[in-house]
Structure 1
Amino acid sequence: MSGSKVVCVGEAMVVLTPADDVPLADASTFIRTVGGAELNVALTLVGLGVPTAWLSRLGDDGFGHHIAATARAAGVDVSGLEFDPARPTGLYVKSPGTAHDGSRRSAMLYYRRGSAASALSPGYLARPDVAAVLAGAALVHVSGITPGLSDSAAAFCDALPATIRLCVDLNYRPALWRDRDDAPLRRLLARADEVLLGADEAAAVFGAATPDALRRALPRAERILLKQEERGVLVLDGDRPPWHVPALEVDVVEPVGAGDAFAAGYLAGRWRDLDVEDAVRLGHRCAAAALVVREDRPLELPAWGDLAV
């Protein structure tokens, strides 16, 4: 796959996190960063030396221009970005250590309804700059969040060129599909060449997370990576028997962003023509680096000169 860009497509948001480790109600100062599944993947890919572009829409506001500048400074190709003067950039707030399950996982408060990215539509694909970016894509990576943003964003996903090689990370968000038919999500998964998904997500969407059930649900996929949290990943690769690649053991600080880091590491490995197992192991290394920090992305990434994956 080496020699062309990976193109990530989806919403980015500004992230606000209390500067002090206090409940949100007591926070008076916030740290501003950027997040969003596909941008997290894009930023990690360029950190791993993979030429990467990111396609999306942002509000023509300070937050939108900050996100664009951050991506550009990191080396992401943002030539296809569109700024919307009428709709805002999405935002989410991390409330550390307040998840309902009692863990130290942050609760996430999203303010994305009506965002610029939610107005993604098939018309965006007709822009010459967007078409040029897609024409140079070795692979397009998108998550299941994108079709969940709105009906027009679902139509955008349906309109992605049939000729692209497509990787879909399920990233199932029940709130995005509440009172909506999830058929657009299923259509996106059904056309994917590679699918990444967690066992809990698979059970929620397909009713089961067994290899046979997933192969029946995703007959077109050349490869399915079933993520099993701390146990690792079960690889379903064509007609080969499934095999397991164990995860690394780390002391988890914050799980948010680990899935995006895994996706980036895996895609970087494949872009570098590593075999599937070594690419998955690189994904595990990147995920482990994300799990030990509060940020949504790893602060330190494996160096290609020291890749004992």
Structure 2
Amino acid sequence: MVTFLPRLPGRLADVPSFDRAIGGAESNVACTLACTGHTTRWISRVGTDGFGDHLLTAIAECGVDVAHVRRDPLRPTGVYFRTAGDRATGTHEVAYYRAGSAASAMTADGLDAAALRAGRILHLSGITAALSADCLGLLRELTARRPGRPLLSFDVNYRPGLWRDTARARVLLDLARGADLVFVGDDEARDAWGLHGPRAIRRALPEPQLLVVKQGRAGATVFRRTGGPDFRRTGETDLRRTGEPDLRRTGETDLRRTGELDGRRDDATATFVPALNVDLVAATGAGDAFAAGFLSATLRGLPDRDRLRHGHLWAAAALTVPGDLATPPSRPQADRLAALDDTAWERLHLGPGWTDADVSGRRADEEVPTQ
């Protein structure tokens, strides 16, 4: 979608002008990953209007392959407007205009199946499932467990304004069960599914190999299922041979010793990493940045703790800018900060511009100051 960001705080009724930007969960993830050198492809559908032209140009300029995006001459490109406030507050407003949009007409038959399967990871969002019956059918097709598919990543991305009826939103739980890696906020799981806490969410979602539960300002927990097959071969790279971590690491909880998840013994570990202290500018886009950071570390075969830390660092980059997209930390900078000991990690306090700070001369145990 094209996003319109207010130039001033206040209600949509009162904001006189907006700045145009690009938005959309999947394209946000693709652009953020491309900024740090990963090869990414965005597959979608936009109109033949000027907004579609803008999206393709802007996303391509981020380094993303947009060759497989279809143009629809009969339907417009979706747009949305939002206020400047935090999405979690009652005053935040979002106005979506994408009923009948080009993206809402996506179908499994209308996309290039070979292009979808070509990557090591296929990342999807639950937002797509809310756009139309055709889009829901597309997500059902892509999350079906079939041999040879890439590692399937699914961000629940529950948006009440898109679902209206929470009973319908339970379809997101079914889609998540078909994924290998799932991202979900504990607030999303509570509002959409009536689930309370990471353990309850894991009991409802035992199928994914990795389940990441985001717990707001507290941090995030990743559950890893250790029984059964590990990540399948994806493309030319087998993640099991490129550094999938030893699961017996400090900071991980072995659920085989601490309890049961669903009435039977479940071979799983749980790793929790606290969130960073940041000077919040805007929360929009932080979830997509977190997913991108976690996926980047997954592609590199880093341990679960470091995957969560990279997610937190990339989210911190988004939290300290006004728009949906932020430049993530460089790989050396992120690796340096992710390697901090627990005390130094909890002492970090990041402000606007921190990804531009030259920390190359600092010791790994020193705090990165706010700007």
Q: TM-score range by the shorter chain?
A: 0.7 to 0.9
Structure 1 position 91 matched with structure 2 position 79: yes
Q: Does residue 207 of structure 2 align to residue 207 of structure 1? A: no
Alignment partner of 1:68 is 2:68:
no
Q: Distance in 2 between matches of 1:211 and 1:26?
A: 39
* Structure 2 residue matching 1:293: 3-state secondary structure: coil
Q: Deviations over 1:27-62 (max 9, x none)?
A: 443211100111111110101211111111001100
| Alpha-carbon distance in 2 for matches of 1:268, 1:149 | 28
Could you state the TM-score of these two structures normalised by the residue count of structure 2? 0.73
2:304 aligned with 1:259, yes or no?
no
Corresponding residue for 2:169? 182
Structure 1, residues 66-107: CA drift from partner, whole Å, max 9, x if none? Answer: 00111111110111100111111010112223868356xx52
Moved more, 31-40 or 131-140: 131-140
- 1:182 is paired with a residue whose SS is helix
Question: Are residue 247 (structure 1) and residue 229 (structure 2) matched?
Answer: no
SS state of the match for residue 54, structure 1? coil
TM-aligned CA deviation for residue 274 of structure 1: 1.4
Count residues in correspondence. 290
Bigger RCO of structures 1 and 2 (CA < 8 A, at least 6 apart): 1
Deviations 1:188-226 (A, max 9, x none): 111010111111111223322344432332222011111
* Contact 1:98–1:107 (Cα < 8 Å) also in 2: no
Q: 1:142 aligns with which of 124, 138, 144?
A: 124
**Counterpart AA for 1:144:** G
Partner of 2:310: 282
Equivalent position amino acid for 2:157 in 1: N
Say which one has the larger Rg. Answer: 2
Give the distance between the partners of 2:42 and 2:205, measured in 1 at CA: 26
Structure 1 CA distance, aligned partners of 2:109 and 2:134? 10
Q: 1:24 aligns with which of 1, 12, 20?
A: 12
Kept in 2, the 8 Å contact 1:139–1:165? The answer is: yes
Contact kept, 8 Å, 1:158 with 1:188, in 2: the verdict is: yes
Structure 1 residues 22, 183: closer, same or farther in 2, change over 3 A? closer
Structure 1 CA distance for aligned equivalents of residues 188 and 170 of structure 2: 15
The whole-number CA distance in structure 1 between the counterparts of 2:206 and 2:88 is 36
TM-score normalised per structure 1: 0.87
**Number of the residue aligned with 1:6:** none
The answer on 1:303 being equivalent to 2:330 is yes
Q: Secondary structure at the match of 2:208?
A: coil
Alpha-carbon distance, 1:183 to partner: 5.2
Q: Contact 2:170–2:193 at 8 Å: present in 1 too?
A: no
Deviation at 1:20, TM superposition (A): 4.0
DSSP-derived class of the 2:268 partner:
coil
CA spacing shift, 1:302–1:231, aligned 2, 3 Å: same
2:8–2:84 CA contact under 8 A, matched in 1:
no
Partner-residue secondary structure (3-state), 1:33: strand
1:251-305 Cα shifts (integer Å, max 9, x gaps): 211111100000001101111221121111011001011111111122x321112
Deviation of 1:22 (Å): 5.5
Report the Cα distance in structure 2 between the residues aligned to 1:146 and 1:132, rounded to whole angstroms: 20
CA contact (8 A) 1:92 1:111 kept: yes
Any stretches of 5+ residues in structure 1 without a counterpart? 1-12
Q: Match of 1:194, as an amino acid?
A: L
For 1:22 and 1:155, the matched residues in 2 are separated by 38
Structure 1 counterpart of 2:332, which letter? G
Q: 4+ residue runs of structure 1 moved beyond 6 angstroms?
A: none
How high is the sequence identity, in percent, across the aligned residues? 43
Residues 190, 98 of structure 1: CA spacing in aligned structure 2 closer, same or farther, 3 A cutoff? closer
| Paired AA for residue 99 in structure 2 | R
Aligned match for 2:210, one of 188, 207, 223: 223
Question: 1:145-182 deviations in whole A, cap 9, x for unaligned?
Answer: 11111101001111226323211111111232224733
Residue of structure 2 equivalent to 1:292? 320
Change in CA separation of 1:273 and 1:241 when aligned onto 2, cut-off 3 Å = closer
Structure 1 Cα separation of the partners of residues 298 and 50 of structure 2: 36
What CA distance in whole angstroms lies between the structure 2 residues aligned with 1:88 and 1:24?
22
Tell me whether 272-281 or 94-103 shows the greater mean CA deviation: 94-103
For 2:108, the equivalent position in structure 1 comes to 122
When residues 275 and 178 of structure 1 are mapped into structure 2, their CA distance, relative to the original with a 3 A threshold, is same
**Which stretches in structure 2 are left out of the alignment for 5+ residues?**
226-266, 339-371
CA distance in 2, matches of 1:281, 1:263: 11
